[in-house]
Amino acid sequence: MTINNHSGVQLRIRGKVQGVGFRPFVWQLAQRLQLHGDVCNDGDGVVVRLQEDPAEFIVQLHQHCPPLARIDSVESEPFAWSQLPADFSIRQSAGGTMNTQIVPDAATCPACLAEMNTPGERRYRYPFINCTHCGPRFTIIRAMPYDRPFTVMASFPLCRKCATEYRDPYDRRFHAQPVACPACGPHLAWRSGSARAEKDAALQAAVAMLKAGGIVAIKGIGGFHLACDAQNDEAVAMLRARKRRPAKPLAVMLPDAEGLPDAARRLLTTPAAPIVLVDKQHVASLCGGDRAGAGGSGGNAARESAPASAFTGAELSAGDDLRQP
């Protein structure tokens, strides 16, 4: 039902609604319902302006909310169009005082992990892969609203293919602010004394160091993981000594969550993918000697693409699990 004359409705949506693919979701929902208007980010969250009655839109907004998003409130008020919209669009974000919530980083989603591990894909073995459902958020933001120019990704102009994905409303990278690929995005670098390497050579250097019993600082989304071969007693002892952690359990990074308790597996497959505490019997092969620490271990499936590439891209054997603090 179209509202008379140039009158419309403005919806103010608050919650975790920036950096979660919310505007693309709103755009797709508006297309499905054949609505006219626009959507944008601002300092308080997301603003949707509609020409039509918003009742069904609001119902479906709650029913089909993106997995990383959380809607706290939807407020409606009358709005007068200076010119009636011909379609529904995503308009430029508004500035102003920032009161909206910043979304935390999210573990690499299954679709991106599968893409990263598939030969022939454009992002095969690319450790900085992400989409609207996963990847860095909080740790790359310089200012709000959450748009690429206000993140560290502003230093990496999009290539033609990434720009096409970014503009395609039906692509899972539609308006994914950190979108990148090997042609236009950041790449791996290896530093060890005077030794330098980049891209795949950097990855191979890190893997060689791990296999040789060394400790490698792997930069993840929000900081560094100090990693070593979890089945190398000497390497684990050296890590414990350097961290001054003689007994406290260390986190174990595993290729997958197979063999872990159901509760742990459920947590590890959420966007948060936290480190979970499990009894050491579930990682018995990693608990010989003094490796396990007292009582248990922290399990961490490889859901962050940069550390995960140490498993998938470098083709470590099944026994070459890593250990991180």
Nearest to 322 by CA among 241, 219, 223, 207: 207
Q: How far apart are CA 281 and CA 283, in angstroms?
A: 5
Helix ranges, 33-159 (H): 55-63, 110-116
Catalytic residues: 23, 41
pLDDT category, 319, cuts 50, 70, 90? very low
pTM greater than 0.85 (yes/no): no
Which tens digits make up the pLDDT trace of 205-218? 999 999 999 999 98
Which tens digits make up the pLDDT trace of 232-268? 999 999 999 999 998 888 888 887 788 888 998 888 8
Domains, in order of start, for the chain? 7-80 (3.30.70.100), 102-186 (3.90.870.30), 189-324 (3.30.110.120)
Residue 145: cis peptide before it, omega within 30 degrees of 0: yes
DSSP symbol at 48: E
pLDDT category, 165, cuts 50, 70, 90? very high
Token pair, residue 66, equals 């993106």
Angle between helix axes 55-63 and 22-32 (nearest 10 degrees) is: 130
Give the helix/strand (H/E) hosting 29: helix 22-32
Rounded to a whole number, what is the largest CA-CA distance in the chain? Answer: 78
Q: How far apart are CA 212 and CA 190, in angstroms?
A: 16
Token pair, residue 247, equals 């007994």
Token pair, residue 114, equals 């599968």
Which tens digits make up the pLDDT trace of 86-138? 999 998 876 655 566 777 888 899 999 999 999 999 999 999 999 998 999 88
Backbone angles phi and psi of 211, in degrees to 5: -65, -25
DSSP symbol at 280: G
